[in-house]
Structure formats: structure tokens, C-alpha cells
Amino acid sequence: MTTYYSEFQKVLLSVDCIIFGFDNNKLKILIGKRNMDPGRGEWSLYGGFVRSDESLDEAAHRTLRELTGLRNVFMRQVGAFGNLDRDPGERVVSVAYYALINVKDYSERQRKQHDVEWVNIEDIPQMYSDHNNMVVKARKLMKQKIKTDPVGFQLLPELFTLTQLQRLYEAVNGEALDKRNFRKRIKDMDFIEKTDLIDKKTSKRGASLYRFNKKAFTEDKTFKL
């Protein structure tokens, strides 16, 4: 292969994943203690290096898959992080991605095996390098996205109650929402379908279970929560 730009220096490229989950009415991300130098033992996002035979998006999906076994996960790029001092070893530029997964799809067995934990978004510890910055930016982008696109369902089980959905939005927005106003808006969206199933886990009376119908959400629809 011809080397066209041989006079320029190359750098290592990595991807880092901000993996969002929703559990116990809290927005969380999956992080672990770093098990390699430099920075061994520090809290860290899960990441990996970009291979020469894959795009950035592919590298992000592969990295997530290695950790969780999940495919076809909703992921979006957060941005490239390339400060000179971001890695104490040699220079590494990292491209951050956020992912939205349903915590139930990630087994405790796998979680323990990889030694990662679900940490409340409000209680993120000091992390390795610029990982806290990545989380801040990811959270900002995700918050924006979830307001105007029906992606929040990625964080919920297939069937969910309206209270669960509301709690999710409250956790993401960081503030309480009015129950009646919230449900009014949901009712206007015919792609959020009421099933005839009842969830009795959280109340004696039971709450109707709803489902997001992807196919019913066509171009002409709008989403705003």
C-alpha cells in the first residue's frame, strides 16, 4: 500500500463508552476500576482501541459488545477528546460514545465477570484522565436527544408503566414532572400503546403496561417530553 502522508505522525485511537442504564428510578452509568497501566485502579469508563479494520462506530459497538454481549444497541458519538495530557503514557486520542441499554439485558454474571458497576449519575467518582468530561458531555447530549426523539424506551423494558416512564424522564431532567401533564402528553402519542396487561409489582391496584410501537412512529410524528 502506498503511504501518501508519510511525513505526518500517527496517533493511537481509542473509544470510550458511556453506558446509560435506568434502575431503581435512577439514571446510572456502567464504570469499573482500570486494570492496566497507566492509571491502574482508578475509576474509568469502559473502552478499547480502534482496530485498523473497523470504523469508529464499529469500534464502539464492538467494545460495548465485548463488555455486555449486546448487539444493535442505540449509540451516538459524543466527540473526540484529544488534549495532549489526557493520557500519561503516549498520546491517545479517544472518541467517546454513549449507549442506552436496558439494565435487565446485562446479566449480573457478566457484570461481575468484568468487574464493572452501575453508578448513579449523581454520584460519579473522580475518574481516570478526562473521563468525567466525557460523561458530562454525553449526559448533555443524551438529555437533549431524549427530549425530542423516542430513544428513552431503550432504557426501559419492552413493557413499562407510565410511572416508570415518568421517573425515567425525571431522572434524566433532574427535576420532578407533573403527573397529569405528563400523562396528557403521552396520551397524544398514539405510538405509545396501552396493552391490556397489568403490572402489580409496584402497587396493589396495579398499573397498565405500555409499549412503544416503533413502526407506528413514522416520519410525520413528533415527540416532545
The span from the CA of 9 to the CA of 33, in Å, is 31
Q: Is 94 in the site for DNA (CB under 7 A)?
A: no
In the complex, minimum distance from the CB of residue 38 to a copy of itself, in angstroms, rounded to a whole number? 7
For residue 179, the minimal CB distance to DNA (Å) is 5
For the CB of residue 85, give the shortest distance to a copy of itself in the complex, in Å: 9
Distance CA 59, CA 46 (A): 12
CA–CA dist 209, 49 (Å, integer): 41
Q: What are the residues binding a copy of itself (CB under 8 A)?
A: 1-5, 8-13, 37-38, 49-57, 77, 79-84, 89-93, 95
Nearer to a copy of itself, 14 or 164 (CB): 14
> What b-and-e string marks burial along 140-170, b requiring 16 or more CB atoms within 10 Å of the CB?
ebbeebbeeebbbbbbbeeebbbbbbbbbbe
What does 132 bind: a copy of itself, DNA, none (CB cut-off 5 to 8 Å by kind)? none
CB of 159 to a copy of itself, least distance (A): 34
All three cell numbers of 174, joined, read 433532574
Whose Cβ is closer to DNA: residue 194's or residue 214's? 194
CA 199, 201, 205, 207: dihedral to nearest 10 degrees?
-30
What is the footprint of DNA within residues 132-161 (CB under 7 A)? 161
Residue 52 vs 72, nearer CB to a copy of itself: 52
Taking residues 176 to 195 in sequence order and writing x for each that binds DNA by CB under 7 A, - otherwise, the string is: --xxxx-xx-----------
What burial class does residue 181 get, using C-beta atoms within 10 Å of its C-beta: 0-12 exposed, 13-18 middle, 19+ buried? exposed
**Binding positions for DNA, rule: CB under 7 A:** 161-163, 178-181, 183-184, 200, 202-208, 224
